[in-house]
Amino acid sequence: MDYKSIIDNCIVSNQLISMTPSEKIVELGYYLDLNMEKTVIDFCCGYGEMLRLWSDAYGISGIGIELFNEFAIKGNERIKEFSLDSHVKVVNTDAKNYKDDTQYDVVCLSGENLCGSLKENIVFMERFLKPDGKLLIGTPYFIEKNVPNELIEFEGQLNTLTEIYDIIRTQGYNLVYFSTGNHHEWERYISWSARRDLESMKLLEDPTEMSKKQEWIDYWYKMYFEYRRRYEAWGMFVIEKVK
Ligand SMILES: C[S@@+](CC[C@H](N)C(=O)[O-])C[C@H]1O[C@@H](n2cnc3c(N)ncnc32)[C@H](O)[C@@H]1O
């Protein structure tokens, strides 16, 4: 057994704030035609780990936009550790106000419904895209059309796969690659998030605050066990414009 690569994978996974695992990110890079000449912008990039992986694997240059300063600082430290800081960086700012005249080969938005709907997210992303470029969208979706109200209250209304496809086509794009997740990927993400809450609960002194945090952790896990595991899934979609 290759213990080292399993451990390395766990370390990389801690830097990913969505369901997509590192090996899938590398695979997506292949279908995005990434190489040393390609430029990428990743909105709501978290630690910027996707950019770091692609820079390491394909030699891309790029920029990540992240609202949460702690993620930007930690992401840039890690990028530096790998001596990739001349190629990629995370900028701490609100993606909605981000201005840039550059057009990129690839524009990404994974794990955040930035503009409120898939259609609006595509319209936002294409402002930064070269005419022959590709968009990468990572989004949760409902497995069936009718799901329990408890899940809608928790997640809001999500598209089904067919609805995602129809929106992509209506916006003039074609789907060139997609990949949906499995339980293992979900469970890595669900427990990653719960571990963060557990760590912050350990620092609390006030019993009321502690019990609120515990209630949230219980609710988070039970939403997954009872609803999300069965009715919700996660997909990454590579799309390009129809000429
Ligand atoms: C679920 S995480 C996904 C992170 C990353 N794309 C990944 O897949 O690992 C969503 C990220 O979007 C960031 N975010 C939310 N709203 C934002 C905004 N308006 N501008 C920039 N980043 C934002 C959050 O801070 C968080 O890091």
Give me the pLDDT at residue 229, please: 97
Closest CA to 66 of 81, 87, 88: 88
Q: How many angstroms is it from 142 CA to the middle of ligand 1?
A: 21
95 lines ligand 1 (CB under 6 A): yes
Dist CA 55 CA 60 (whole Å): 5
> Model confidence over 93-120: pLDDT tens digits?
999 999 999 999 999 999 999 999 999 9
Task: Inform me whether the pLDDT recorded for 12 exceeds 90.
Answer: no
Task: Inform me whether the pLDDT recorded for 242 exceeds 80.
Answer: no
Count CB atoms within 10 A of the CB of residue 101: 5
Instruction: Ligand 1, residue 94: give the atom nearest the CA.
Output: 20
Q: How many angstroms is it from 66 CA to the middle of ligand 1?
A: 6
Domain ranges of the chain: 3-182+233-241, 187-224
46 lines ligand 1 (CB under 6 A): yes
Residue type for position 149: N
Give me the pLDDT at residue 8, please: 84
65 lines ligand 1 (CB under 6 A): yes
Instruction: Ligand 1, residue 108: give the atom nearest the CA.
Output: 6
Pocket test for ligand 1, best of 71, 92, 93, 112 (most atoms within 8 A of CB): 112
Q: How far is CA 57 from CA 36, 121, 220, in A?
A: 10, 27, 34
Q: Cβ distance 67 to 94 under 8 Å?
A: yes
Burial-class residue 193 by CB neighbours within 10 Å (0-12, 13-18, 19+): middle
Burial-class residue 53 by CB neighbours within 10 Å (0-12, 13-18, 19+): buried
pTM: 0.94
Residue type for position 106: V
Q: How many angstroms is it from 138 CA to the middle of ligand 1?
A: 11
Task: Inform me whether the pLDDT recorded for 145 exceeds 90.
Answer: yes
DSSP the chain: --HHHHHHHHHHHTT--SS--HHHHHHHHHHTT--TT-EEEEET-TT-HHHHHHHHHH--EEEEEES-HHHHHHHHHHHHHTT-TTTEEEEES-GGG------EEEEEEES--TTSSHHHHHHHHHTTEEEEEEEEEEEEEESSSS--HHHHHHH-----HHHHHHHHHHTTEEEEEEEE--HHHHHHHHHHHHHHHHHHHHT---HHHHHHHHHHHHHHHHHIIIIIHHHEEEEEEEEEE--
Instruction: Ligand 1, residue 109: give the atom nearest the CA.
Output: 6
> Model confidence over 214-239: pLDDT tens digits?
999 999 999 999 999 999 999 999 99
Q: How many angstroms is it from 187 CA to the middle of ligand 1?
A: 19
Give me the pLDDT at residue 76, please: 98
- Of the listed ranges 8-12, 94-98, 123-127, 135-139, the least confidently predicted one is 8-12
Q: Whose CA is nearest to atom 15 of ligand 1?
A: 44
140 lines ligand 1 (CB under 6 A): no
Q: Cβ distance 13 to 21 under 8 Å?
A: yes
Give me the pLDDT at residue 136, please: 98
68 lines ligand 1 (CB under 6 A): yes
Q: Virtual CA dihedral for 119, 124, 139, 133, nearest 10 degrees? A: 100
Note the CATH number of domain 3-182+233-241: 3.40.50.150
> Model confidence over 30-79: pLDDT tens digits?
999 999 999 999 999 999 999 999 999 999 999 999 999 999 999 999 99
Task: Inform me whether the pLDDT recorded for 171 exceeds 90.
Answer: yes
